[in-house]
Amino acid sequence: MPSPLNPNELRQLGFAGGLPSGRPVYRHLVSAIERGIVAGTLQSGRRLPAERQLAASLRVSRATIVAAYRELEARGLVRGYVGRGTYVSGPPDASGAPFAWRGKVAAAALRAASSATRDLVRVSTDPQLLSLAAGIPALDRFPFDAFRQALEKVVKKSASAVWGLGSSEGQPRLREAIAHRFGGSPENILVLAGAQQGLEVLARCLIDPGDTIVMDRPGYLGAIQTFRAAGARVIGWDILRHDLDELEDHLVRYRPKLMFTVTTFNNPTGWTMPLRLRRDVLALASRLRVPIIEDNTYGELHLTPTAPAPTLHSLDTQSIVIGLNSFSKMLSPGLRLGWIAAAPPIIEQLALMEPHSLAHNGGQLAVAELLENGAFDEHLVTLRAEHRRRRDALAAALHRHIPDGLLRWSTPDGGLYFWCRLGGRLQSARVSACALAEGVAFTPGEAFYVDHAGERELRICYSSVPAGRSDEAARRLGRAILRARRETSAPPQLVAIV
């Protein structure tokens, strides 16, 4: 089997990527490969470089490579096999060829296939990296002993509930405990395997392809992906400007199916909606009959002594708000436990659609135990103190290691994130690549926007790194920023093929 084509060979085919010529770069690439095939230099069965690798070598976006390969495929010159690569077409060898799965993937799945969350999980589970990317609380403060005792107790005492089929809405004991601790009534609560699963079932329950959703801009990237995957058009409401007229304009103009918002310690900005605006938003949504999904994942993670304003869900008298919440940030993402609080018809519809609860029974009962015996609230006190310490330590370290004017952020009163803006002409995607090379990860800003903005912004999770390591994290980030600045200000010819 011939070796895959490498980028240098492409140059020999006459492809000079990135040079200005009035034609899009991908057309140059298509021409070069076509010439090679016609000339016989590229024989059938020859494998083309992987998209990602070629994009990196040529310093062009992956979309450019994808466009070129698609064009070649459409002309019948190459054939892509997912997971195996793209090959110069030749006489089909039906017997041994792997099945061409790519053509089978649903349009919505391809449309929604952003790798932002996937990358985030990947860098956060990579032991080589200091990750400030995913939103992870101070896990080393997790009440291990209390949880282990609770789990042992429920496994011993409620074996049939732990091992049997759980009821669709979740364990009654946990629904009771959640209602008691967070308000509402148990029959309005549906337990989930995390808030993200909640978004997915809500999207399936409520969104028809072509529906419009209005949500925070910038806003939770998991929500953007989920709504898009459901075929929705997503419109952003500028959460930092929080102009009620703009929201009304959106609701009237786009007649959205629903609105999604993180009202307290918004992800990624950390912004909290003031009480007065909460009432106004609720009245507006009620008047225009636009239901709201309110994600309150960060509501308990305040770093000031006073709790934030009441949620839209608690202010709502018409059941127009669906509350979404999760134990991932309050306890641990490994629990995979969250819940929806909603009007009975929604709970019933969701239970109908998702009759097998995906939340682990034992975990549900153990968390109920922690809520009941007070360990949960004790833990929150510890967690808030630790997060305050980490926030302040990381802020100080960033001030020490990053030259003035290259990174700005405001210090939030809660949640897990610094929402930052790069100075100079720095782009967060470039800085992110340099940061990974330096052994530190964050989340570039684009993932939080529905409209390709945010290229100079980035999100840093301050809670995932112990205070003792924040200096190292900031040092690496500082090096990455300086490296990105050098590359950014380098003469343009270096951007051509190396």
Within residues 108-127, the interface with a second copy by CB under 8 A covers: 108-109, 112-115, 117-118, 120-122, 124-125
From the list 105, 244, 307, 496, which residue makes contact with a second copy (rule: CB under 8 A)? 105
Output the smallest distance, CB 181 to a second copy, in A.
21
Output the smallest distance, CB 450 to a second copy, in A.
18
From the list 97, 244, 252, 496, which residue makes contact with a second copy (rule: CB under 8 A)? 97
Residue with tokens 């002594």: 305
Contact flag: residue 336 with a second copy (CB under 8 A):
yes
Say how far apart CA 137 and CA 117 lie, in whole Å. 17
Contact flag: residue 396 with a second copy (CB under 8 A):
no
Contact flag: residue 98 with a second copy (CB under 8 A):
yes
The number of C-alpha atoms within 13 Å of 139 and in the hemisphere containing its C-beta is 11
Say how far apart CA 256 and CA 247 lie, in whole Å. 11
Contact flag: residue 257 with a second copy (CB under 8 A):
yes
Q: How far is CA 406 from the centre of its chain?
A: 25
Amino acid at 47: R
Question: Cβ closer to a second copy: 105 or 496?
Answer: 105
Contact flag: residue 82 with a second copy (CB under 8 A):
yes
Task: Give the DSSP letter string of 353-402.
Answer: H--S--S-HHHHHHHHHHHHHSHHHHHHHHHHHHHHHHHHHHHHHHHHHS
Calculate ∠ Cα 270-275-277, nearest 5°.
Answer: 85
Contact flag: residue 258 with a second copy (CB under 8 A):
yes
Taking residue 199's Cβ as centre, other Cβ atoms within 10 Å add up to 24
Output the smallest distance, CB 34 to a second copy, in A.
26
Contact flag: residue 317 with a second copy (CB under 8 A):
yes
Task: Give the DSSP letter string of 276-291.
Answer: HHHHHHHHHHHHTT--
Question: Cβ closer to a second copy: 280 or 487?
Answer: 280
Say how far apart CA 218 and CA 261 lie, in whole Å. 10
> Of 354-362, 386-394, 443-451, 476-484, which segment contacts a second copy by CB under 8 A?
354-362
Contact flag: residue 142 with a second copy (CB under 8 A):
yes
Question: Cβ closer to a second copy: 81 or 254?
Answer: 81
Contact flag: residue 102 with a second copy (CB under 8 A):
yes
Contact flag: residue 344 with a second copy (CB under 8 A):
yes
Of 198-217, binders to a second copy (CB under 8 A) are 204-209, 211
Output the smallest distance, CB 216 to a second copy, in A.
20
Output the smallest distance, CB 17 to a second copy, in A.
26
Asked if 296 and 263 touch (Cβ cutoff 8 Å), the reply is yes
Which H/E stretch holds residue 458? Answer: strand 457-461
From the list 34, 348, 372, 392, which residue makes contact with a second copy (rule: CB under 8 A)? 348
Task: Give the DSSP letter string of 306-345.
Answer: SPPPPPHHHH-SSS-EEEEEESTTTT-GGG--EEEE--HH
Question: Cβ closer to a second copy: 252 or 352?
Answer: 352
Token couple for 254: 């786009």
Q: At what angle do helices 221-229 and 195-206 cross, to 10 degrees?
A: 30
Of 175-194, binders to a second copy (CB under 8 A) are 193-194
**What's the Rg (C-alpha) of the chain?**
25
Question: Cβ closer to a second copy: 14 or 344?
Answer: 344
From the list 14, 334, 374, 403, which residue makes contact with a second copy (rule: CB under 8 A)? 334
Contact flag: residue 382 with a second copy (CB under 8 A):
no
The torsion defined by the Cα of 120, 226, 271 and 342, in degrees rounded to 10, comes to: -130
